[in-house]
């Protein structure tokens, strides 16, 4: 069963006065397949993404359900690192086994290259 790290955008109060960071955050709340890579990369470059949980699920759709508190399977789980808001558009799941990253878009998931902290999926071919 795949294990994912869930990354979510977090901003300390001090960053809410920076209009550029606010614009990047809002852009990530409106991801679509055709703009996900660019927008997530911009947020990651500004260190807006932080890991919030490990998600254990069979696939991305199950991971979304688990991340929102209504996982369907007995062996699915969410292990939070901090207070965890529900999963939503703009969140990123990194598959720890396949070293692939996926952005949660307004409809479905988009494979992306994701670089933040210790995670770098740039050496993996995006399908």
- Is residue 127 included in any domain, yes or no? no
Q: In the chain, what is the greatest distance between 2 CA atoms, to the nearest angstrom?
A: 43
Say if 126 falls within a structural domain: no
- 69 occurs within a structural domain: yes
Contact 4, 55 (CB under 8 A): yes
| Domain count for the chain | 1
- Please state at what angle helix 36-45 crosses helix 19-28, rounded to 10 degrees: 140
**55 occurs within a structural domain:** yes
Which of 101, 2, 99, 98 has the alpha carbon at shortest distance from 49?
A: 101
- Residue 82 has what pLDDT? 83
Has residue 125 been placed in a domain? no
Report DSSP state, residue 107: S
| pLDDT tens digit sequence for 26-83 | 999 999 999 999 999 999 998 899 999 999 999 999 999 999 988 777 778 888 888 8
For residue 16, name the pLDDT band (cuts at 50, 70, 90): confident
- The answer to whether position 33 is within a domain reads yes
Reported residue count of the chain is 127
Range of 66's domain?
Answer: 3-119
pLDDT of residue 117: 59
pLDDT surpasses 80 at 125: no
In a domain, 124, yes or no: no
Contact of 7 with 116, CB cutoff 8 Å:
yes
**pLDDT tens-digit readout, 78-110:** 888 888 678 999 999 999 888 899 999 999 999
End-to-end CA distance of the chain: 20
User: Could you give the CA distance from residue 11 to residue 71 in angstroms, rounded to a whole number?
Assistant: 27
Residues with Cβ within 8 Å of 30's Cβ and at least 6 positions away in sequence, in order, are: 89, 106
The answer to whether residue 42 is domain-embedded is: yes
Beta-carbon count within 10 A of 104 CB: 25
Quickly state the pLDDT bin for 126 (edges 50, 70, 90). Answer: very low
């Amino acid at each position: 069963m795949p294990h994912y790290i869930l990354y979510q955008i977090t901003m300390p109060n001090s960053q809410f006065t920076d209009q550029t960071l606010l614009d990047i955050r809002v852009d990530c709340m409106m991801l679509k397949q055709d703009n996900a890579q660019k927008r997530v990369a911009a947020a990651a470059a500004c260190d807006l993404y932080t890991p919030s949980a490990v998600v254990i699920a069979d696939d991305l759709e199950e991971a979304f359900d688990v991340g929102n508190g209504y996982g369907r399977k007995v062996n699915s789980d969410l292990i939070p690192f901090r207070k965890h808001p529900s999963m939503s558009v703009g969140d990123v799941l990194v598959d720890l086994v396949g070293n692939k990253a996926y952005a949660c878009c307004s409809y479905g998931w988009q494979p992306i290259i994701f670089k933040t902290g210790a995670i770098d999926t740039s050496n993996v071919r995006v399908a």
